Structure 1
Amino acid sequence: MTGLAVAWLLVSTPVAAQEAMPRVRASDADRIGAARDRVLPVVVSILTVREDHQQGEPVLSVSSGSGTVVTPQGHIATNAHVTQNGKSFRVVFADGRELPARLVGTDTLSDLAVLQALPPKPETFAHAQFADVLDLQPGDTVLAMGAPWGLSNSMSAGVVNNPRRLLVSLFDDEADYEDRLGVDEPTGRYYAWIQHDAAIAPGNSGGPLVDLSGRIVGVNTRGMIFGGDLAFAIPGPDARDVVRALVADGRIRRAQFGFRLRSLKGTGLDRGVLVNAVERGSVAEKAGLRAGDRILTLQGGEVDARQPVDVPALQRRIAELPAGEALRLGIDRDGRRSELRLLADAQAEDPGEERAFAPFGVSLKPLTPAMGRRRNLDGAEGLLVTGVRPGGPAAIARPGLAPGDVIRRAGGQPVRTLAELEAVAGAPSPSGGPLVVEFQREAEQRLAVLVPIHGDRLRTPLPELAKAWSGVEVQPVTASLARDLGLQATGYRIIRVYPGSPLAAAGARVGDLLTGINDTPLRAANETAADGYHQRVRDLPIGSEAVFQAVRDGKPRTFEVTLGESPVNTSGLRTLALAKLRAQLRELGFYDRAARRLPASRQGVVVDGVEPGGPAGLAHLQGGDIIISLAGEDVRDPPGLAAALDAALAKGNGSVIPLQVIRGGETRILYLERYWLTETP
């Protein structure tokens, strides 16, 4: 379950013991109840089916978060990390009603996103209001609402610790904090958090922080799982502005100049703000701005950032300049003052999400200029390889591709987007032959020959060479073990007899000690390996007559058998990676039936594995289940199950497709939801 990030732990030693103070004043009880009744009914739990990527393969999982209905049209404010990599969404209301939702827009730099509930027919939604002004003070009572650990309709109370907080301790370097924001923690670049101690946990992310007037004063975003009840929320007025822009336009437009700021803390200076870093090739660098310059004026007005908490407001002010408007900076460099003019540029378009490209067995992301500069690559066009599936087409290409490579051309055509690659290699070519792929690795331009694979991956192993089989499992009995067990002979003790097997038909039982075959003694080399017995049997012809010498209860016996053909091992059965279910399927084999005590006539398909967020996982299928019917139709093998699923989807009857499975000693009914089958990639 994703949700609140685990903030880093700040440890300090108290100089004196302090008496514990109550978090909430008793006099606030009535106002707490009124605020609860106003907001909690419009707080929703959010179920997100995520598509992440591991080694070039898409992996679906399910995560949960929280949100608040903030418009009559059903728009829901939440965190961007709640919707991150989301492929489909459902929201559960306080009354238990569940609706699908669509992603309206997301802004990773503020960690905010907007969903919209999709009712079957238009309706007007009850909703909550954001605070227009942040007037919180330390000690004010606040309420955190949401679904911690997926437990909906939850509320906790606490007090504001600090209404303007950056996660920079006395021991942190402010510049390092900025670097962290630039890589994987963008939240906080344009505002300071509200720090409070209302209890929150993973799953609260995106839920509201509410004051006693029933206003949304913050959006809970992160907390500390260890080290005390410290929680952090995006200020309500800032969240309101972002949410309104996302509802109106689906995105946030900001100017970018390619420089970052830091406060004057620790410098001995008392005016202005420092340039912390300048990006190579940026507008700022071209205008002559340097790291270490001190900015004294912005658009002709004085600026001041003496502490780190003062910096986000300035960075937000700069980013909100309209595209095309000049940024005028009055700077001081080594005591000399000058003015620079930087022409604002629109912030780069979202580079697009990471996606798997199954025909190559890779995951890819479109390259942006910034990504190219960080990797010292020539140009900014192509597809960045983010993962490679072991054994897949890209891995076994000549030469193989690797994460970090940039695909420039395929089949002689430039590929700058995933759509262009789909057009070139998304479907089988008439020849079915290899494809030449041009890619860049560091400063080298390379060529590779790659054979794409299309469709569900059905694996039919090479047929095994049949061998003779007696139909038992055995335990070696050496001379020393026989002596300790009080046995008068050595050989192989039967520990399992397969029903219907040659030795079963001859009357062999568990506990019988096999001492020879065709009057040739059986001698165990050690007490752990039974290979000696099985090899002796496999050396005999299939269908030949054999006499097994044995001892039962101290008395000699013989079993006359006609040796059978060895059953196919599990590794020799057909498997199918069925994309519609996001499940790995396998034929039901002899040893599966034996392990479950199923009759030889039982047909079905074994589930070898499921992705938790795929349709099979959401239907609660588990590895080891045996599917015996789908939509009332018996299934015999993986291709048959795939055909039955296609037929059931084509009929379009009902919202679910029933499955009958064998699990343990039970036959169970499970349901595939059509929604997940159609909405999940």
Structure 2
Amino acid sequence: MNISQRCWCLVLVVMLFLQAQEKTVQQDQANNQVEIRKVMKKVYPALVRISVVTAFVAQGREQKAFTSGSGAIISPDGYVVTNHHVVGGAKRIWCTLSNKEEVEADLIGTDALCDIAIIKLKPWTMRVPVRSFAHASWGDSNELKIGQKVFAMGSPGAISQTVTYGIIGNLNMVIPKAIGGRNSFMLDGEAVGSIVRWIIHDATIFGGNSGGPLVDLDGKIIGINEIGIAGLGGAIPANTAKRVADSLIKKGYVERTWIGTRVQTLLKSDQRLYGVLVSNVTKGSPAEEAGIQSGDIVVEFNGTRISGRYEEQIPVFNALVFDTPIDTEVPVTVMRNDKELKLKLTTRARGKAKELDHEVLSWGITARNLTKLNTVRLRRDSKKGVFISSVRPGGPCGQAKPSLRVGDIITKISGMEVNDLNAMLELTKKLTAEKKTTTVVVEFERRKDQYLTAVQLGEEDKDSWARARKAWFPAKVQVLTTPLAKALGLEGKKGVRITRLYPQLTDGDFRLGDIITHLNEVSIDASNTSHSEVFPTMIRRFRARKKVDFTVIRDGKELKVNYKLPKSPKPSAEMKTYVNEHFEFTVRNMAVMDKIALNLPQDYKGALLKEVRTGGWLSLARIRTNDILLSINGEKIQNVNDVKKIMENLHKEKPSSVVFYVYRRGTHFYAEARPKW
């Protein structure tokens, strides 16, 4: 065979190989499509997109925000599994089903330590209620294999339900020490990595996939997607998630045991095959009472041999301890100085890592009670006191000298002990019952230091803002500067030029462009832009309704205008206001100057929003400060009294939706608030 024939043979072999490869790729794609359709048929109807109004605390207030995530229906009666970080702070929850139908949901229970939560759909809130829901089933995460194909389902970026696929790359991932370690992922005071080992996969996930299921080829939920690391997805194993979900459905919470130890992996110099190193023992804990000491090696706990040479093994030990029944005596074997000790330990309930925050508006703070775990971490002997979680700048606590800060613990008010938040609220009510304002002495802890400060509670008398109204010239003017006077052929003249006539000037005495040079023969000494207050100051020196001679230059001619100055209109600071704490807004009647500034007729009706607090229900409806409320749920608004009456009725009726008709700078729109009453 010559060289030419050999070349043709080689080309033919390559072409046949490429054709075979193309057919293989096509066959793989076809197989993938079949697998995806099979999985979608089983799981897609159970997928939900979760929209949440969630609450958080900042600057002395509870604030709200819209967030979104994913979930999967796991029972025909509408229980949905998702992440704690999606719905843990929920005020209201709506779920969009795979058929685009929207349904409201209630938060049943949540567990920050495993980042799992359960919500329940409310079918009666649907346009077409159903008796049962399509749902997915749990798989066994202990049977998973590296390289196994999986599908990530959810609603990334709050878009409609999606599916991506990939393979499992790791079954026992923990957060590496290089990026923070096991205890770096904190949710509401809980270190999620202390108990969870994630399933790592390369199915694409984005923000919004949180809470969505990771599914195997049989359409079974084998994980709940939670995190992303280095372009890979991390899912909570199904067996862990199911155990927590079952407890949340049954009890609304998860019971766990506490023994009061902190453990770590064995030191590299330790050649033992088994055991975990005790790094800390809490004073007064079950571990201390049992005789366990820092430096001990726990080799057996309640009959289970303990492995702890690698970081991935520590969550297994923590889970073993947490899952031990409460108030149970268990045997513990430790090694101390190469000697084996057999000990008995009685477990206790672990309790919450963190209590809920509450607004204390009269103090300008948000605060919460302390838990047993707080006292351990803060090295306190008691749970007594109130923990400050945020402070409003300029509020009573923020203005105190010294001011209170986040992390301070209030222990006494006016010499009386404060055991918890309820005691603080009752004491505040008692101290402010007879006075609008009162100053109290507050004792608080800051780390280990004991401080005193004085806090003024209550509001200043707003009537003191009222001011005597003087004369007013109902027009806007500009200074007749020296260059402008020269350009107009009025060199040497001083005064002001009318740039806008307000509606009160209806008798034709003045015209746009008039130049005013004297008041009662007194020169208006204004010739540069820094003299802008000269003319208004001269006007305010006159009594209201007094006739004043204006010297005016109009069309190059000087003339006299005798004009009775009206009384200055009521300023915005004196307009009647109404504050709604639930929707977090302040509204007031419109002043004359409000309508002038907004180019509205003087008979325009409505109420102006003086303040819409960030993170409040009105703010979430995209309504802003300086918008004008024209109607609420179809009831027209003439003034603040109407707003107050309508809102008081709504508080009694508690509708799921409140519709506001709003004016904003030349345009009208409807905005819908969906509050949690």
TM-score range, shorter chain: 0.7 to 0.9
Matches within 5 A, 1:566-645: 566-611=568-613, 614-645=616-647
TM superposition shift of 1:346: 1.3
CA 1:605–1:133: 2 relative to 1, 3 Å: same
Distance 1:458 1:607, change over 3 A: farther
Q: Does 1:470 align with 2:473?
A: yes
Paired with 2:153 and 2:602, the residues of 1 have a C-alpha distance of 56
SS at match of 1:251: coil
Distance 2:624 2:193 in 1: 41
Q: Deviations over 1:570-603 (max 9, x none)?
A: 3443433312322222221112211222221223
Name the count of aligned residue pairs.
644
After superposition, the Cα gap between the structure-2 partners of 1:182 and 1:465, relative to the gap in structure 1 and judged at 3 Å, is closer
Q: Which moved more, 1:51-60 or 1:284-293?
A: 284-293
For 1:38, what is the secondary structure of its paired residue? Answer: helix
Q: Is the 8 A contact 2:480 2:497 kept in 1?
A: no
Change (3 A) 1:487 1:63: farther
Q: Give the one of 247, 265, 272 matched to 1:263.
A: 265
Rate the CA distance shift 1:492–1:554 in 2: closer, same or farther, 3 A.
same
The 5 A counterparts of 1:35-114 are: 35-114=39-118
Deviations along 1:625-657, one digit per CA (max 9) or x if unpaired, are 2112334444343343111222355568x8655
1:322-401 map, 5 Å:
322-349=325-352, 351-395=354-398, 401=404
Q: Contact (CA 8 Å) 2:370, 2:383: kept in 1 or not? A: yes
* Cα contact 1:411–1:424 (8 A) shared by 2: no
Q: Counterpart of 2:137?
A: 129
Q: Is the 8 A contact 1:412 1:436 kept in 2?
A: no
Q: Which residue of 2 aligns with 1:8?
A: none
- Cα distance in 2 between the residues matched to 1:135 and 1:617: 48
Aligned-pair distance for 1:354?
Answer: 0.6
Report the equivalent of 1:662.
663
Aligned partner of 1:201 in structure 2 is 206
**1:223 alignment partner, one of 228, 241, 254:** 228
TM-score (norm. length: structure 1): 0.84
CA distance in 1, matches of 2:507, 2:50: 57
- Find the counterpart in structure 1 of residue 6 from structure 2: none
- Distance across 2 between alignment mates of 1:625 and 1:304: 64
Q: CA deviation at 1:38?
A: 1.6
Partner residue in 2 for 1:296: 299
Correspondences of 1:153-552 after superposition (within 5 Å): 153-168=161-176, 171=178, 174=181, 177-178=182-183, 186-223=191-228, 229-264=231-266, 266-267=268-269, 269-275=271-277, 277-281=279-283, 282-349=285-352, 351-395=354-398, 401-408=404-411, 415-425=418-428, 431-432=434-435, 434=438, 439-442=443-446, 453=458, 462-480=465-483, 482-483=485-486, 488=491, 491=494, 493-494=496-497, 496-502=499-505, 505-509=508-512, 511-524=513-526, 526-528=528-530, 530-552=532-554
Offset of residue 479 of structure 1: 2.1
Which residue does 1:9 correspond to in 2? none
Structure 1 counterpart of 2:157, from 149, 169, 175: 149
Offset of 1:118 from its aligned partner? 1.8
Alpha-carbon distance between aligned partners in 2 of 1:205 and 1:459, rounded to the nearest angstrom: 48
Higher helix share: 2
Bigger-Rg structure (1/2): 2
* More off after superposition, 65-74 vs 581-590: 581-590
**Aligned partner of residue 390 in structure 2, secondary structure:** strand
Contact 1:368 1:381 in 2 (8 A): no
Distance 1:370 1:521, change over 3 A: same
Q: Decide which moves more: 199-208 or 182-191.
A: 182-191
On the 8 A contact 1:464/1:568 being kept in 2, the answer is: no
- 2:564 maps to 562
How far 1:446 moved relative to its partner? 6.6
CA apart distance, 1:493: 5.0
Bigger mean CA offset, 428-437 vs 89-98: 428-437
Which string of whole-angstrom CA distances, capped at 9 and with x for unpartnered residues, describes residues 29-73 of structure 1? 211122122212211122222222222222222222211111122
Distance (Å, rounded) in 1 between the aligned partners of 2:92 and 2:325: 34
Give 3-state SS (helix, strand or coil) of 1:365's partner.
Answer: strand
Q: CA deviation at 1:122?
A: 7.8
Q: Name stretches of at least 5 consecutive residues in structure 1 with no aligned partner.
A: 1-21
One-letter amino acid of the counterpart of residue 204, structure 1: N
Range with greater deviation from structure 2 (433-442 or 122-131): 433-442
Deviation at 1:316, TM superposition (A): 0.7
Aligned equivalent of 2:13: none
CA contact (8 A) 1:299 1:328 kept: yes
CA contact (8 A) 2:475 2:502 kept: no
Shift of 1:508: 2.4
Q: What do you get for the CA RMSD once the two structures are aligned?
A: 3.5
SS at match of 1:330: strand
Residue in 1 that maps onto 2:18: none
Indicate the SS of the match to 2:465: coil
For 2:141 and 2:634, the matched residues in 1 are separated by 60
2: CA distance, partners of 1:44 / 1:378: 46
SS of the residue aligned with 2:69?
strand
Cα distance in 2 between the residues matched to 1:486 and 1:266:
94
Counterparts of 1:662 and 1:267 in 2: how far apart (Å)? Answer: 73
> CA separation of 1:465/1:276 partners in 2, compared to 1, >3 Å: closer, same or farther?
farther
Query: Which 10-residue stretch deviates more, 299-308 or 415-424?
Result: 415-424
Q: Partners in 1 of 2:116 and 2:565 — Cα distance?
A: 69
Q: CA deviation at 1:108?
A: 0.8
Once the 2 structures are TM-superposed, how far is the Cα of residue 331 of structure 1 from its aligned partner? 3.0
Q: CA–CA distance in 2 between the matches of 1:181 and 1:259? A: 19
What letter is aligned with 1:546? V
Counterpart amino acid of 2:627?
Answer: D
Deviates more, 1:601-610 or 1:570-579: 570-579
Question: Structure 2, unaligned stretches of length 5 or more?
Answer: 1-24
**Which string of whole-angstrom CA distances, capped at 9 and with x for unpartnered residues, describes residues 546-565 of structure 1?**
23334455554554322122
How far does the alpha carbon of each residue in 1:406-446 deviate from its partner, in whole angstroms, 9 at most, with x for none?
Answer: 33456887543434444444589753474866643245667
TM-score, length-normalised on structure 2? 0.85
1:470–1:590 CA distance, 2 compared to 1 (3 A): same
Q: Which residue of 1 aligns with 2:119?
A: 115
| Range 613-622 or range 366-375, more displaced | 613-622
| 8 A contact 2:352–2:373 mirrored in 1 | no
The one-letter code sitting in structure 2 at the alignment partner of 1:596 is L
